[in-house]
Structures are given as structure tokens and as C-alpha cells.
Amino acid sequence: MDSGDLLNEDEELPDSVIESAKLKAELILEIFKTIGIDAVNVGELDLVLGLDYLKELEKKYSFPFVSTNLVDADNKPVFQRYVLKQVNGKTVAIMGLYGDTSEMAGKLADITGGALTVQDPVKAAEAVVAELAGKADYVIAMTHQIANRDWVIARRVKGIHLVVGGHDRQKTPDPLGAGDAFIVRAGEKGQYLGMLEVALDGSKEPVNTLVPFDESIADDGKVQGMISAYNDKVADMYGGGGGDQPAAADVPLRVEACAPCHSSQVAQWKTTDHAKAYATLVGKSKQYDPKCLSCHTIRFEQPGGFNMQEMQMAFVNVQCESCHGDATEHLASMKPIPVADPQIDLCLKCHTDDRCPEFEEEKEIVFDKIRH
């Protein structure tokens, strides 16, 4: 199961990436159906491409989206409220709950234009538990909310045995006891598979295992084929002809405009991995993936920066303006550059924990490599 925000990572998408985002959403559903998924809670980011589109995907793939407390203008559930699964001769019920704090409700309203609202998750969960009386041996609540609210669900809703939390991107190596229930979280972006073993007769404590999806696990051939087909479609969508475009076209990079006055700095930059950032995407057929391009190009989808429709090759790689800001006025009239002394916070926008888990610990070593 998955607790939500499965299909997307951003609250807003530029128009130029909408179609590729839809392709990626379909790819994710195909993969999860192939793997075998029993239930997916609906998070606010799953709705960024539109409620109607999500419902189309649900129908097209017979996908098990679950939401117990997201309702339409008539106060009717938009998705199935729960699913029942047979596991080892026992009936397991899985519901999906979305948080009702002002922050969560506000995000939902903004993204859906008010098409969906949130019912009280405690009351919604209690109604499902009452409905399941005598029908389920084990009840799971997938939640999409801030982590401390999981404790409220676990303690107040009698009859829930397990809370599988999401949205807050936390992970719990060991299950957390909360009243008669347990709480688990498996982090973010599919970095871990959480596996919980329970004995319904209470003969032993639950055992939780977070299995890292790292390079020690071989690629599945069928899934890899789906990903390759997706990469080819996106390449065709943006004129890439199957992903064979070189790392840079025969145009001068934006950094060359800095070279006349900053020759030593530009020479140093050319020795760094930043100067080869776009080439690493080409080698992995990722040069048309917006999530990658946002860090491997200059000012992705911002005014005067790289965008998916034009694919300006002068703006590829992590160049001077990636760290020092838009240099247009500096180049035209020698006005000061926006960021004279970049700090570690700027680096962390791209060197996130999931991509570079040891970055902060090694920041001095990293800075020495790019210092100029």
C-alpha cells in the first residue's frame, strides 16, 4: 500500500511539462499494478493533474485509490472508502484518511479549486470501523497528514490495528505503539519498502523491516522495459528522437559570457562535475525528465531560463547562474550579481537527503571541489 502523493511531487506544474507528467503518472500506475498494489491513499499532489484525470486513470487501470474522507460538493465520497483483502485466510480492511488541519485543507482547496473538501478523519474512520464490525479481522488506516496526527487516529479510533502514515516523509525503523494500535512510516519517494509482520493472536510483537531500494536489488526486466518506453515517449514529445541528443549542441554555453572577466573561475568550473551535469542525464536517458532538468539546467521553467519547449542548450549544466542567480543585468551593465556568496542552503535545494544523504556531512569537501 501507499499513503499518498504517489504520482507527483509538486503543487504546481508548468504548462510545458503537463503532458510528460501525465505520461509519468500512467507509468507509475502500470508499474504498481505489475508489482501488485492493494490500496493507495489519495494525497493532494495526486490531484495536481486534475480530479477528472485521476478518476480517468482509476478507471483505465482499475487502480485501487482509496479515500475515506475526501468528499465532493454533495458531501459524497469521490473514491472507494476502503478495500477488503484476503490474506492468509484473514480479512484485512484498508481505509485512506486525509488530514483536516488548516494547512492540509488549504492545499487541497487550492489544488482542486474547491472541488473536494475534507471530512473529520476521526469521525470518518469511526464510521468505517463500525461498518466493518464482524467483517474484518485486521483494520489498517493509511494516513496522509502531519505525523503527530497519526497518534490521534491510533488512540481515538478503537478498532484500528495499524496506521501507515504518509505526507511527512518520516520513516520508523520500529513500529510505534499507540494505545491498541501501531504506527509505521516508510519515508519518501519509494526509497524503502516497509514490511510489517503481525500475529493476530498477539503471540508476538509486530516486526517492522525497512528494505532499502538500492543498487543491491537488480532491475526487473519488465519494469525496466516500461521505463525505457516512457523515456522514449518523452524524448519524442520534446523532439529528442529517442533520447540520442548530445549533451550540448554546437552553441556556446551561458558560462562563456562570464569568461572574459572571470577566466580562472570558468576554467575551474570546467573541471567540476557541475560542468558535466547534463551529460549524466543523457547517459541515463533522463534529459527530458523535468524533475532532473530542474537541477541540471539554469533557471528551469523560469523567465530567461531553460524550458521544455525550447530546450535551450546554452542553459544546460550547473553553470554560474545556478548558484549566483540571474546575471542578465550584471552582463549588460555590470550591476552586482544577485548572490555573491552562495551558502549551503542553496545547495540543499538540489542535493537533497534522498539524492545525497551524506552531503551536509561532507559539505567542506564538496565546497573545496567547486571553490573558485
Encode pLDDT of 174-189 as tens digits: 899 998 899 999 988 8
Adjacent-strand bridge partners of 303: none
Q: Which of 158-172, 273-287, 353-367 has the lowest mean pLDDT?
A: 353-367
Q: Does 202 lie in the same domain as 315?
A: no
Higher-pLDDT residue of 84 and 370 is: 84
Position 240 confidence tier, pLDDT thresholds 50, 70, 90: low
Q: Does 76 lie in the same domain as 204?
A: yes
80: Cβ–Cβ under 8 A, 6 or more apart, which residues? Answer: 64, 65, 66, 67
Max mean pLDDT among 90-94, 251-255, 340-344 falls in 90-94
Q: How far apart are CA 194 and CA 3, in angstroms?
A: 12
- For the cut 80, the answer to whether the pLDDT of residue 249 exceeds it is no
* Cβ atoms of residues 215 and 200 within 8 Å: no
φ, ψ of residue 183 to 5 degrees: the values are -120, 135
- pTM (predicted TM-score): 0.84
- pLDDT of 50 reads 96
**Cα 215 to chain center, whole Å?**
20
- Using DSSP bridges, classify how beta strands 40-41 and 65-66 pair: parallel, antiparallel or unpaired: parallel
Q: Is 176 helix (H, G, I), strand (E, B) or coil?
A: strand
**Mean pLDDT estimate for the chain:** 90
| Closest by Cα among 90, 81, 122, 117 to 102 | 117
Position 37 confidence tier, pLDDT thresholds 50, 70, 90: very high
Q: How far apart are CA 303 and CA 326, in angstroms?
A: 10
φ, ψ of residue 128 to 5 degrees: the values are -70, -45
Q: How far apart are CA 216 and CA 200, in angstroms?
A: 33
Q: Does 189 lie in the same domain as 52?
A: yes
Digit-coded pLDDT (tens) for 314-333: 999 999 999 999 999 998 88
Higher-pLDDT residue of 159 and 203 is: 159
- pLDDT of 214 reads 85
- For the cut 60, the answer to whether the pLDDT of residue 241 exceeds it is no
Q: How far apart are CA 234 and CA 21, in angstroms?
A: 10
Q: Does 107 lie in the same domain as 255?
A: no
- pLDDT of 105 reads 94
Query: Which of these three, 189, 212, 235, is where a domain ends?
Result: 212
Digit-coded pLDDT (tens) for 195-235: 999 988 878 888 999 999 888 999 999 999 999 999 888 88
- For the cut 80, the answer to whether the pLDDT of residue 242 exceeds it is no
* Cβ atoms of residues 120 and 126 within 8 Å: no
The number of folded domains in the chain is 2
Q: How many Å from the N-terminal Cα to the C-terminal Cα in the chain?
A: 48
* Cβ atoms of residues 208 and 255 within 8 Å: no
Mean pLDDT of 344-363: 84
Residue 291 inside a domain? The answer is yes
Residue 260 inside a domain? The answer is yes
Helix axes 18-35, 51-61, angle to 10 degrees: 30
Please state, as a whole number, how many other Cβ atoms lie within 10 Å of the Cβ of residue 38. Answer: 15
What CATH number does residue 66 fall under?
3.60.21.10
Q: Does 177 lie in the same domain as 102?
A: yes
Mean pLDDT of 17-43: 94
Helix axes 148-156, 121-131, angle to 10 degrees: 40
Task: Extract the C-alpha cell encoding 340.
Answer: 555573491
Q: Does 200 lie in the same domain as 127?
A: yes
- pLDDT of 250 reads 54
Mean pLDDT of 263-278: 92
Residue 370 inside a domain? The answer is no
Residue 166 inside a domain? The answer is yes
Q: Does 206 lie in the same domain as 262?
A: no
| Closest by Cα among 73, 329, 352, 363 to 187 | 352
Residues of the domain holding 38: 15-212
- pLDDT of 251 reads 63
